[in-house]
Amino acid sequence: MASELHNLSQYDPTTVASGEGRKVGIVYADWNSEITYALRDGAIKTLTDNGVEASDITVVSVPGSFELIYGAAQMVKSKKYDAVIAIGCVIRGDTPHFDYICEGVTAGLTQLNVEYDTPVIFGLITTNNLLQAQERSGGRLGNKGDECAVTALQMMARFK
Ligand code: DLZ
Protein backbone atom coordinates (compact mmCIF):
# COMPACT_ATOMS: atom_id res chain seq x y z
CA MET A 1 0.00 0.00 0.00
CA ALA A 2 2.89 2.34 0.52
CA SER A 3 2.95 5.02 -2.17
CA GLU A 4 6.46 5.76 -0.92
CA LEU A 5 7.55 2.62 -2.79
CA HIS A 6 5.71 3.32 -6.01
CA ASN A 7 5.48 6.47 -8.11
CA LEU A 8 1.80 6.88 -8.95
CA SER A 9 2.52 8.34 -12.38
CA GLN A 10 4.86 5.62 -13.58
CA TYR A 11 3.52 2.98 -15.90
CA ASP A 12 4.78 0.94 -18.81
CA PRO A 13 2.97 2.35 -21.88
CA THR A 14 3.52 -0.91 -23.75
CA THR A 15 1.36 -2.79 -21.26
CA VAL A 16 -1.45 -0.23 -21.01
CA ALA A 17 -4.52 -0.92 -23.14
CA SER A 18 -5.57 1.67 -25.71
CA GLY A 19 -8.51 3.82 -24.77
CA GLU A 20 -9.57 4.33 -28.38
CA GLY A 21 -13.35 4.46 -28.66
CA ARG A 22 -13.83 4.35 -24.87
CA LYS A 23 -16.12 6.65 -22.91
CA VAL A 24 -15.06 7.61 -19.41
CA GLY A 25 -16.87 9.54 -16.68
CA ILE A 26 -14.90 11.46 -14.08
CA VAL A 27 -16.59 12.71 -10.93
CA TYR A 28 -14.44 14.84 -8.64
CA ALA A 29 -14.94 16.67 -5.37
CA ASP A 30 -14.41 20.40 -4.96
CA TRP A 31 -13.24 20.01 -1.36
CA ASN A 32 -9.42 20.38 -1.23
CA SER A 33 -9.56 21.65 -4.81
CA GLU A 34 -5.82 22.32 -4.97
CA ILE A 35 -5.43 18.55 -4.82
CA THR A 36 -8.53 17.27 -6.61
CA TYR A 37 -8.17 19.52 -9.64
CA ALA A 38 -4.60 18.26 -10.11
CA LEU A 39 -5.82 14.66 -9.80
CA ARG A 40 -8.62 15.33 -12.29
CA ASP A 41 -6.26 16.95 -14.80
CA GLY A 42 -3.76 14.10 -14.42
CA ALA A 43 -6.48 11.55 -15.12
CA ILE A 44 -7.68 13.42 -18.20
CA LYS A 45 -4.14 13.76 -19.58
CA THR A 46 -3.31 10.10 -19.06
CA LEU A 47 -6.58 9.00 -20.67
CA THR A 48 -6.03 11.19 -23.74
CA ASP A 49 -2.33 10.22 -23.92
CA ASN A 50 -3.58 6.64 -24.25
CA GLY A 51 -6.17 7.13 -26.94
CA VAL A 52 -9.37 8.31 -25.25
CA GLU A 53 -10.87 11.24 -27.17
CA ALA A 54 -11.24 14.34 -24.99
CA SER A 55 -14.83 14.58 -26.20
CA ASP A 56 -15.46 11.07 -24.82
CA ILE A 57 -14.54 12.14 -21.28
CA THR A 58 -17.37 13.61 -19.20
CA VAL A 59 -16.25 15.52 -16.14
CA VAL A 60 -18.65 16.44 -13.33
CA SER A 61 -17.89 18.03 -9.96
CA VAL A 62 -19.59 17.39 -6.64
CA PRO A 63 -19.21 19.47 -3.45
CA GLY A 64 -17.31 16.97 -1.28
CA SER A 65 -15.99 13.45 -1.30
CA PHE A 66 -19.10 12.08 0.33
CA GLU A 67 -21.08 13.15 -2.75
CA LEU A 68 -18.78 11.06 -4.97
CA ILE A 69 -21.03 8.11 -4.18
CA TYR A 70 -24.11 9.77 -5.60
CA GLY A 71 -22.22 11.27 -8.55
CA ALA A 72 -20.57 7.99 -9.49
CA ALA A 73 -23.89 6.15 -9.06
CA GLN A 74 -25.62 8.50 -11.49
CA MET A 75 -22.87 8.00 -14.04
CA VAL A 76 -22.92 4.22 -13.67
CA LYS A 77 -26.70 4.00 -13.90
CA SER A 78 -26.73 6.11 -17.06
CA LYS A 79 -24.82 3.28 -18.81
CA LYS A 80 -23.07 5.91 -20.93
CA TYR A 81 -19.56 5.11 -19.73
CA ASP A 82 -17.14 2.20 -19.98
CA ALA A 83 -15.53 3.27 -16.69
CA VAL A 84 -16.08 5.90 -14.02
CA ILE A 85 -13.28 7.49 -12.02
CA ALA A 86 -14.16 9.02 -8.63
CA ILE A 87 -11.68 11.61 -7.37
CA GLY A 88 -11.53 13.21 -3.95
CA CYS A 89 -9.19 14.15 -1.15
CA VAL A 90 -9.91 13.78 2.54
CA ILE A 91 -7.37 15.21 4.97
CA ARG A 92 -7.44 14.08 8.57
CA GLY A 93 -8.63 16.72 11.03
CA ASP A 94 -9.18 16.85 14.77
CA THR A 95 -12.47 14.95 14.77
CA PRO A 96 -13.57 11.47 13.64
CA HIS A 97 -15.20 13.04 10.57
CA PHE A 98 -12.30 11.81 8.42
CA ASP A 99 -13.03 8.20 9.31
CA TYR A 100 -16.74 8.47 8.58
CA ILE A 101 -16.19 10.10 5.19
CA CYS A 102 -13.46 7.63 4.17
CA GLU A 103 -15.48 4.62 5.26
CA GLY A 104 -18.64 5.95 3.65
CA VAL A 105 -17.04 6.67 0.30
CA THR A 106 -15.17 3.37 0.27
CA ALA A 107 -18.33 1.41 1.07
CA GLY A 108 -20.42 3.38 -1.42
CA LEU A 109 -18.02 2.95 -4.32
CA THR A 110 -17.49 -0.70 -3.43
CA GLN A 111 -21.24 -1.27 -3.58
CA LEU A 112 -21.38 0.25 -7.06
CA ASN A 113 -18.63 -2.08 -8.23
CA VAL A 114 -20.50 -5.08 -6.90
CA GLU A 115 -23.96 -4.12 -8.17
CA TYR A 116 -23.28 -2.64 -11.60
CA ASP A 117 -21.35 -3.57 -14.73
CA THR A 118 -19.28 -0.41 -15.01
CA PRO A 119 -15.95 -0.37 -13.16
CA VAL A 120 -15.67 2.49 -10.67
CA ILE A 121 -12.08 3.48 -9.97
CA PHE A 122 -11.14 4.60 -6.46
CA GLY A 123 -9.39 7.96 -6.71
CA LEU A 124 -9.83 9.05 -3.12
CA ILE A 125 -6.67 10.33 -1.48
CA THR A 126 -6.81 9.95 2.30
CA THR A 127 -3.93 11.61 4.09
CA ASN A 128 -2.87 12.86 7.48
CA ASN A 129 -1.91 16.29 6.17
CA LEU A 130 -1.81 18.57 3.13
CA LEU A 131 1.82 17.78 2.31
CA GLN A 132 1.05 14.08 1.88
CA ALA A 133 -1.79 14.99 -0.46
CA GLN A 134 0.43 17.33 -2.47
CA GLU A 135 3.03 14.60 -2.80
CA ARG A 136 0.39 12.34 -4.37
CA SER A 137 -1.23 14.87 -6.69
CA GLY A 138 1.71 15.68 -8.94
CA GLY A 139 4.43 16.00 -6.32
CA ARG A 140 7.25 13.74 -5.18
CA LEU A 141 5.20 10.55 -5.42
CA GLY A 142 3.48 11.25 -8.72
CA ASN A 143 -0.21 11.79 -9.38
CA LYS A 144 -2.92 9.40 -8.29
CA GLY A 145 -5.06 10.73 -11.14
CA ASP A 146 -2.59 9.11 -13.57
CA GLU A 147 -2.81 5.82 -11.70
CA CYS A 148 -6.63 5.93 -11.78
CA ALA A 149 -6.63 6.55 -15.53
CA VAL A 150 -4.29 3.61 -16.16
CA THR A 151 -6.46 1.43 -13.93
CA ALA A 152 -9.57 2.49 -15.86
CA LEU A 153 -7.89 1.62 -19.18
CA GLN A 154 -6.90 -1.83 -17.89
CA MET A 155 -10.34 -2.56 -16.45
CA MET A 156 -12.12 -1.47 -19.63
CA ALA A 157 -9.87 -3.67 -21.74
CA ARG A 158 -10.47 -6.70 -19.56
CA PHE A 159 -14.17 -6.43 -18.82
CA LYS A 160 -15.94 -4.13 -21.26
C1 DLZ B 1 -17.25 18.27 5.81
C2 DLZ B 1 -15.99 17.83 5.13
C3 DLZ B 1 -14.77 17.83 5.83
C4 DLZ B 1 -14.66 18.25 7.25
N5 DLZ B 1 -13.63 17.46 5.23
C6 DLZ B 1 -13.66 17.07 3.94
C7 DLZ B 1 -12.48 16.68 3.27
O8 DLZ B 1 -11.35 16.69 3.81
N9 DLZ B 1 -12.57 16.27 1.98
C10 DLZ B 1 -13.78 16.24 1.30
O11 DLZ B 1 -13.79 15.86 0.13
N12 DLZ B 1 -14.91 16.63 1.91
C13 DLZ B 1 -14.88 17.04 3.19
N14 DLZ B 1 -16.02 17.43 3.81
C15 DLZ B 1 -17.29 17.49 3.02
C16 DLZ B 1 -18.02 16.14 2.90
O17 DLZ B 1 -17.40 15.29 1.96
C18 DLZ B 1 -19.47 16.39 2.41
O19 DLZ B 1 -19.44 17.20 1.27
C20 DLZ B 1 -20.31 17.06 3.48
O21 DLZ B 1 -20.29 16.32 4.67
C22 DLZ B 1 -21.78 17.22 3.00
O23 DLZ B 1 -22.35 15.94 2.72
User: Is the distance from the beta carbon of residue 65 to the nearest atom of ligand 1 less than 6 Å?
Assistant: yes
Atom of ligand 1 nearest to the CA of 29: 11
* pLDDT tens figures, 130-160: 999 999 999 999 999 999 999 999 999 999 8
CA 107 / ligand 1 centre spacing (Å) = 16
Residue 22 has pLDDT above 80, yes or no: yes
Average pLDDT, the chain: 95
The whole-number pLDDT of residue 57 equals 98
The pLDDT of residue 94 is above 90: no
- The arithmetic mean of pLDDT across residues 57-61, rounded, is 98
Question: Taken in order 98, 99, 104, 106, is the CA torsion positive or negative?
Answer: positive
The answer to whether residue 1 scores a pLDDT higher than 70 is: no
Looking at residue 160, its pLDDT comes to 84
| CB environment 55-87: b (16+ within 10 A), e (fewer) | ebbebebbebbbbbbebbbebbeeeebbbbbbb
- Nearest-CA residue for ligand 1 atom 9 is 90
CA-nearest residue, atom 7 of ligand 1: 90
Bridge-based pairing of strands 142-143 and 137-139 is: antiparallel
Give the confidence band of 128 by pLDDT, cuts at 50, 70, 90. very high
Q: Per-residue DSSP letters for 13-35?
A: GGGSPP-TT--EEEEEESTTHHH
Say whether 97 is catalytic.
yes
Ligand 1 atom closest to the CA of 67, numbered from 1: 19
Which listed residue (97, 107, 129, 140) is catalytic?
Answer: 97
Class assignment of domain 28-159? alpha beta
pTM for the full model?
A: 0.96
